[in-house]
A and B are shown apart, each in its own frame.
Chain A
Amino acid sequence: MATATETTRHKRIGPAHTAKDIAVITKRNLLRNIRLPQLLIFATVQPVMFLLLFTYVFGGAIGGAIPPIAQGEYINWLLPGLLIQVAAFGAGQTALGLTEDLSKGVIDRFRSLPMARSAVLAGRTVSDLIRNGFVIGLMVVMGFLMGFRYQTNFVAFLGGLLVAMVFSFSLSWVMATIGLAVKNPEAAQSAVFFPVFPLVFASSVFVPTQTMPDWLRGFAENQPITVTVNALRGLMLGQESLADFQPGMSGTQLAQAVAEAPSVAGQVLMSLFWSVAIIVIFVPLAIRVYRKTVS
């Protein structure tokens, strides 16, 4: 007795079911990091190397060019920047993980199961968020061992870490889209560096943007990585870190620069706005590319 209503009432997957599927896929992806510790070690070694090299090789030379709030210690300036670099490069793992699953037929298995389709992508970005959180935590510990001290308070410092995590999560969706579009793991490896490298270096991650030529400065100061790094510095070092600092400034000049600097709250909101905008655009885009790629 097939009636018209019966044929149109399709089986749907509810939110609780979807959340359970995301949790199952997230666990699966995280287990891989535990079973293959090299993955995590390599993901950690590179940023720690950056931290060591930049602090001890360039730190002395750059130290004078950064605002006094850093107490002349380059690592105080560098660590918030490097955390965002970790977030950006770590997000690239999302593309690699997805392309690997695609090439091994695992995605076909998932697609033949009565599970939420979005769980494959969401499980990947969530597990990468947790993984990046781990690496960020390790960087912070390393930073403290090397002399990093936040100049504000603990809550603001934690707020900074949270902003970094949100940003990392949004970038994972960009990388998911790129990975699904190129499909092949080797191609994904270079495809993710293409947008990330210029964004990370043409930013305030390593040096203040004030010394850059005007054409580059305009880009560098408004792109999401700089905005997010500034938000972190504001939360960890204070308002003064956002000032347009020039070496040799007098006390009154500095005080005026600080007064004219963008507010910490403004930078934090701007960073969160970027993250949300990226998520709003790239989540549906990634899902669309996923649907296209796998059928």
Chain B
Amino acid sequence: MNSPIVRVANVVKTFGDTVRALDDVSLEFEPGIVYGLLGPNGAGKTTLIRVLTTLLRADSGYAEVAGVDVRNDPVAARTHIGLAGQFAAVDDYLTGRENVEMVGRLYNLSAAESRRRADDLLQRIHLDDAADRTVRTYSGGMRRRLDLAASLVGRPQVLFLDEPTTGIDPQSRLDLWELIRELIAAGTTVLLTTQYLDEADQLANRIAVIDRGKLIAEGTGDELKARLGGSVIELHVADDDRGRALEALAAVSSEATFEASHASIRLPAADGSQTLLAVVRRLDETGIAAQDIALHKPTLDDVFLTLTGRGAAEAEAERASPRKAKRGRRQEGSAA
């Protein structure tokens, strides 16, 4: 069995007195996979990336990348990693090629080797035509791709991608996914953070769900979806009908519940559209008119509802006001 390429043990990082950005996080994974870290804003994803990429020192705990203790020997750790952050950290006034070459030089490659790798990478990210234009003429998607190329020029053993597709248009997002898939096929180990379940599902071999600085679930995409029961049916009925609707739907699924945060009734759609038909039939038989009804694939929000009993948006809002978050954490201290 491969020894882990990233190992995190009991890492704690607090900001000020109130915010525990990382609360005793432990995880490890082997080389050659894509590890997805899924969670809402403020869950601690970026903090973990910053600890692993030597940008931030943990208060306690141990973190290792490619066999190097990142706290003890950060310079050695940096030779093994590549980082593409939330904002494309590329230089507007350099050309695409100059950007990649510069990062190559800073990985201590020779000028000739930096140029060779830049040429190769720019081709792989399909920017060879734009390579000699200054980056300020690039679109958002092009900048992200360039940022990705820059993070790869040192041939890192582990590539850290912090929300690689946040804030870019859907087409660029698909392009970027394609690109990341190609990297994976070439054998690069990736730690990816994302707020989108579908992104983690598309790209990652293993997914960890993080909330309030704690890992609350871990497994393959299929394992997670199995826990969630796959697709979800969500429907709205008039308040007066709610009780009757829940009674009626109990016959379809014992897990039909009213979700106050969405003012909707939800139940797992174990058989997909067949379950939807069954729901519609039941409602019709009992004479309840649904205001709307939808079958959808689980989102981060569903993951959160299932795992923590509250939606991702709520988790974010709590994080924004630390005092409330602290109270919430005490109440659900055993949830992890």
Contacts and interface: CB of A to CB of B under 8 A. Distances in A.
Interface residues of A, number: 28
Interface centre among B56, B108, B134 (most CB of A within 10 A): B108
5 contacts: A11-B79, A28-B94, A32-B91, A104-B89, A108-B83
Interface stretch (B26-34, B70-78, B220-228, B229-237): B70-78
B150 interface: yes
B297 interface: no
A108 B56 contact: no
Contacts of B73: 10-11
Given A35-B93, A109-B85, A109-B103, A12 B55 contact: no
A36 B93 contact: yes
Interface residues of B, number: 33
A10 to B, nearest CB: 5
Given A11-B73, A113-B107, A108 B79 contact: no
Given A17-B108, A105-B85, A105-B86, A24 B79 contact: no
Q: DSSP majority for the A interface?
A: helix
Given A21-B106, A105-B86, A295-B56, A32 B93 contact: yes
A106 B106 contact: no
B105 interface: yes
B93 A295 contact: no
Interface string A278-295: 000000000000000011
B240 to A, nearest CB: 53
Interface in B45-88: 53-57, 69, 72-73, 75-76, 78-79, 81-83, 85-88
B199 to A, nearest CB: 21
Interface in B69-128: 69, 72-73, 75-76, 78-79, 81-83, 85-89, 91, 93-94, 98, 102-103, 105-108
A111 B108 contact: no
A12 B108 CA distance: 13
B105 A24 contact: yes
A50 to B, nearest CB: 27
Interface centre among A32, A110, A113 (most CB of B within 10 A): A113
Contact of B83 (A17, A21, A109): A109
B87 A112 contact: no
A109 B89 contact: yes
Given A105-B87, A110-B106, A35 B75 contact: no
B118 to A, nearest CB: 14
Contacts of A109: 83, 85, 89, 103, 150
Given A35-B93, A105-B85, 14 more contacts: A11-B73, A13-B75, A17-B108, A21-B106, A32-B94, A104-B87, A108-B85, A109-B85, A109-B89, A110-B106, A114-B76, A114-B106, A115-B108, A294-B55
